[in-house]
Amino acid sequence: MPSPGRYLTALLATILPLVLSAQEPGIRQIRVGNLKVTALLDGQVPLGKELLKGLEPEEAEAMLGGPEPTATSVNAFLVDTGKHRILVDAGGTSSWGLGHLAERLQKAGIKPESIETVLITHLHGDHFGGLLTPEGKRAFPRAQLRLSQIEHDYWTAPATEASLPEARRPIIKALKAMIAVYQSEGAYHPFAPGEAPCPGVQAIPTPGHTPGHTSYAFGQGKHAFWAIGDLVHFGRIQFAKPEVTVSFDTDSPKAAATRQALWERAAREKVLIGGSHLAFPGLGQIKKAGQGFIWTALKGKARR
Ligand SMILES: [Zn+2]
């Protein structure tokens, strides 16, 4: 039996990260059944209404509450299952005003080497940029990196690079550099459709924003948590109007259909949702409301 002193130290070691993170900006930890979910804010980017497709500018402005671009969160989610630590998405780099994930993890008491799996929802820079350190090394030195094979094939195809405007091509170079680093250390493993990316996690194909965009489902029933990546960029618009898309979706009709279907399912199953670009911490539930849906952000210290 441990001495009272050692017992107290052990107890504090368990509690302290939770207490600290509650006080730290950009870190939010909650329990969902047996899962511990930590939302981590990588930074914010301004998104303007001119990116919206399928909505009149006046209506967009009214729904957004003004003409200014929306300061949009870039969130990553760390899920601790009790057996594994899994990170969903890795944020971007400082060149975009992002790249705060590493310091947030540190403040939350989570060592990058303790993360065993990194799941990527899709290969946009604000999701894979944080996979390498500024020195070009693996930011998660012991993690296996997993993402959809469809997504890998699309972004590494010469035709995709050729189809991009000149200004967006450097991102492909950055992507290939990242893949090369993880591949050279045997840590890069795209998964086939229907394959579980790691034990206890289901991949839900959610194509449209990009061809292999994938959401990840943890837990079950009322203790389920789904990280849904970029199914929504404008929370004030795309729950009420899932048909509204953004100009950087690769396939607008598919993105809209995928969103509608996922909103239906998430509302029916009452799952906890984590959205990459919903206002930090990006956690909440989707409910049906008339023809559309509403987002109910997780409040206070709510636990489920
Ligand atoms: Zn994104």
Q: Give residue-wise pLDDT tens across range 139-180.
A: 999 999 999 999 999 999 999 999 999 988 999 999 999 999
pLDDT of the residue at 24 = 78
The region of weakest confidence among 151-165, 177-191, 241-255, 289-303 is 289-303
Residue 218 lies in a domain: yes
Give CA–CA dist 72/235, Å, rounded.
Answer: 10
What pLDDT digit, counting tens, does each position of 23-82 carry?
Answer: 579 999 999 999 999 999 999 999 999 999 999 999 999 999 999 999 999 999 999 999
Q: How many domains does the chain have?
A: 1
pLDDT of residue 11: 46
Residue 230 CA to ligand 1 centre (angstroms): 5
Measured over the CA atoms of residue 126, residue 277, residue 77 and residue 204, the dihedral's sign is negative
Residue 202 domain-assigned?
Answer: yes
Rounded Cα–Cα distance for residues 91 and 74 (Å) = 7
Provide the mean pLDDT of the chain: 92
In a domain, 187, yes or no: yes
Contacts of residue 76, defined as CB under 8 A and 6 or more positions apart, other chains included, come to 39, 40, 42, 87, 88, 89, 90, 91, 101, 130, 276
Q: Which amino acid is at 205?
A: P
Asked whether residue 2 is assigned to any structural domain, the reply reads no
277 alpha carbon – ligand 1 mean position (Å): 7
C-alpha span between 229 and 214 (Å, rounded): 7
Q: What is the CATH number of the domain that holds 106?
A: 3.60.15.10
CA of 7 to the centre of ligand 1 (A): 43
Ligand 1 centroid, distance to 267 Cα (angstroms) = 23
Which residues fall within 8 angstroms of residue 221, CB to CB, at 6 or more apart? none
C-alpha–C-alpha distance, residues 54 and 177, integer Å: 36
Predicted confidence (pLDDT) at residue 7 exceeds the cutoff of 90: no
The pLDDT of residue 96 = 84
Tell me what pLDDT residue 300 has: 60
**Residues 200-224: pLDDT tens digits?**
999 999 999 999 999 999 999 889 9
pLDDT at 16: 45
- Residue 9 included in any domain: no
Q: What is the pLDDT of residue 20?
A: 46
Residue-range definition of the domain harbouring residue 50: 27-297
- Give domain status of residue 21, yes or no: no
Distance from residue 14's CA to the centre of ligand 1 (Å): 32
User: What percent of the chain is predicted at pLDDT more than 70?
Assistant: 91
In a domain, 229, yes or no: yes
Is residue 294 over pLDDT 70? Answer: yes
**pLDDT in the model for residue 23:** 53
Q: Would you state the pLDDT for residue 86?
A: 98
The whole-number pLDDT of residue 171 equals: 93
Tell me, in angstroms, the distance from the centre of ligand 1 to residue 228's CA.
11
Domain-embedded: residue 51: yes
Q: Please tell me the distance between residue 241's alpha carbon and the centre of ligand 1 in angstroms.
A: 19
State the average pLDDT over residues 96-115: 96
